């Protein structure tokens, strides 16, 4: 009984570590495990125009391994740092061309060779950062 029941916490790819921490610290987790309910964290991100799932199963282990949690936290920190760098690189272009779309800002960045040594950021990521700039 309960084998067909799955609890899923869905989030963005960069927030997996925070959701894993939240679920593992929940007082309900041991009860869900005893009942045989699968507990999953789904992190979604877009890679080359396609959605990619990262699944962390919290059903069977007494607690997720410290190394796994630290790896997830380090990846989330790297994603945030990358976003902050992209924001710093895109801000002067946006200030110079405030009517540019995310795609226009990325094109201008490529002309200026700003993201050296790193893969080109996605338009979606730049769009999210452009929203932040406009909200400031």
The DSSP symbol for 37 reads -
* CA separation for the pair 14, 29 (Å, rounded): 22
pLDDT along the chain (136 residues), means of 10: 78 87 85 87 90 87 63 79 85 89 86 65 82 84
Give phi and psi for 105, each to the nearest 5: -65, -40
pLDDT at 118: 64
pLDDT confidence of residue 52: 93
Output the pLDDT for position 65: 63
Number of neighbouring beta carbons within 10 Å of residue 46? 14
Q: d(Cα 118, Cα 37) in Å, to the nearest integer?
A: 41
8 A C-beta contact, residue 126 and residue 107? no
Q: What's residue 75's pLDDT?
A: 80
- The residues, any chain, with a CB within 8 Å of residue 59's CB and separated by 6 or more, are 33, 37, 38, 39, 40
At residue 114, the pLDDT reads: 56
């Amino acid at each position: 009984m309960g084998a067909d029941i799955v609890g899923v916490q869905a989030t963005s790819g960069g927030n997996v570590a925070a959701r894993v921490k939240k679920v593992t610290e929940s007082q309900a987790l041991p009860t869900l495990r005893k009942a045989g309910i699968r507990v999953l964290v789904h992190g979604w991100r877009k890679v080359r125009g396609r959605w990619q799932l990262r699944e962390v199963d919290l059903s069977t282990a007494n607690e997720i391994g410290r190394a796994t949690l630290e790896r997830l936290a380090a990846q989330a920190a790297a994603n945030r740092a990358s976003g902050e760098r992209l924001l710093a690189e895109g801000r002067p272009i946006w200030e110079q061309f405030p009517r540019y779309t995310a795609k226009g800002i990325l094109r201008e960045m490529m002309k200026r060779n700003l993201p050296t040594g790193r893969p080109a950021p996605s338009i979606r990521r730049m769009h999210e950062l452009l929203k932040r700039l406009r909200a400031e």
